[in-house]
Amino acid sequence: MSTDRTRPAGRRDQSGPRSAPGGPRSASNGPRSTPGGPRSVPPQRSRRLQPHRPQRPHQWFAERLLAVLSGQRPVHWMLGHTIGEAYDQLAELAPSTPLRATHGSRPVLRHCRGAQPATGVVEAFASIAAGDRVRAMAFRLEQGADQRGRCAAVELGGARLTAGAPGCR
């Protein structure tokens, strides 16, 4: 146990706060024996210091779509993010919660990939896991005049999301 009170609990490196250059050193205890001396070994980088990659628009939208289709959020949460028939389809299907939790396991987004077939268009697909069950979801985002992407089409498990479609219960 260290008696150095300048180092936070659980810290493993031996460096403490730095004092003026050329601080006291002792040759008998290796590179540094007193707190505040110069460092001889650079500190290791932590994973926390790595830059955070922002989510891509199709990943962000897939999370929102999953929340609505699993019953975690109301369908009107998607009101400004859909255009055309996509919102009507979601409004008809949301009450049936086709991606609801099975046996107590909450559905999660496993993978989400997107392709850009034309300027301002992203076609994406995602896999959703809930317990031992995996479902597929595909959607199309189109960029509007305000440069925001909005959903224009949604498919779930190979069947287009329409009320009464087989496989969408």
Reduced to 3 states (helix: H, G, I; strand: E, B; else coil), residue 160 is: strand
| 95 or 35, which is more confident | 95
Q: What is the mean pLDDT of the segment spanning 132-143?
A: 90
Instruction: Give the model's pLDDT for residue 67.
Output: 93
Instruction: Give the model's pLDDT for residue 93.
Output: 79
In the predicted structure, residue 130 carries a pLDDT above the cut 60: yes
Is the whole-model pTM more than 0.85? no
User: What pLDDT digit, counting tens, does each position of 77-98 carry?
Assistant: 999 899 988 898 888 878 888 8
Q: What is the mean pLDDT of the segment spanning 51-56?
A: 77
Instruction: Give the model's pLDDT for residue 53.
Output: 74
| 112 or 46, which is more confident | 112
Q: What is the mean pLDDT of the segment spanning 96-120?
A: 88
Instruction: Give the model's pLDDT for residue 24.
Output: 52
CA 34 to chain centre: 44
Q: What is the mean pLDDT of the chain?
A: 76
Element (H or E) spanning 150, and its range?
Answer: strand 149-156
The 3 state secondary structure assigned to 75-140 is: HHHHHHHECCHHHHHHHHHHHHCCCCCECCECCEEEEEEEEEEECCEEEEEEEEEECCEEEEEEEE
Instruction: Give the model's pLDDT for residue 167.
Output: 42
Q: CA of 114: how far to CAs of 31, 55, 57, 61, 89, in Å?
A: 52, 12, 9, 11, 22
Confidence of residue 141 (pLDDT cuts 50, 70, 90): very high
